[in-house]
Chains A and B, each alone.
Chain A
Amino acid sequence: MNRTLILGGILSALMVIAALLSFVWTPFDHSAMNIPEKLQTPNSKHWFGTDHFGRDLFSMIMVGARTSIAVACVAVGIGIGLGVPLGLWAAARQGGWVDEVIMRGNDLIFAFPSLVIAILITAIFGAGAINAIVAIGIFNIPVFARVTRGGALPLWAREFILAARVAGKGAARISIEHILPNIANLLIVQATIQFSLGILAEAALSYVGLGAQPPTPSWGRMLADAQTLVSIAPHMALVPGFAIILTVLGLNLLGDGLRDALDPKLRVARV
Chain B
Amino acid sequence: MKKILALCLVLVLSLSGAAFAQTIKIGVFEPASGDNGAGGKQETLGIEYANYVVPTVEVGGETFDIELVIVDNQSQTDKAVSAAQSLVDAGVSIVLGSYGSGVSMAGGEIFQSAKIPAIGCSCTNPGVTSLCDYYWRVCFLDPFQGTVMANFAMDEKAATKAYVLTQLGDDYSTGLGFYFQRAFAALGGEVVAGEFPEGTSDFTAYLNNAINDGVQVFFCPTSTTSAALIIDQAASLNVPFALMAGDTWESSVILEAAKGKNVEVFCSTFFDEKDESSTIAAEFVAGFKAWMNANPDKLTNNGGNDIVAAVSALGYDAYMVAIEAIKTADTAVPDALTLILPSVVHEGVTGAISFNEIGDANKDMAYIKKVNNETGAFDFVKTQSVADLG
A-B interaction: no
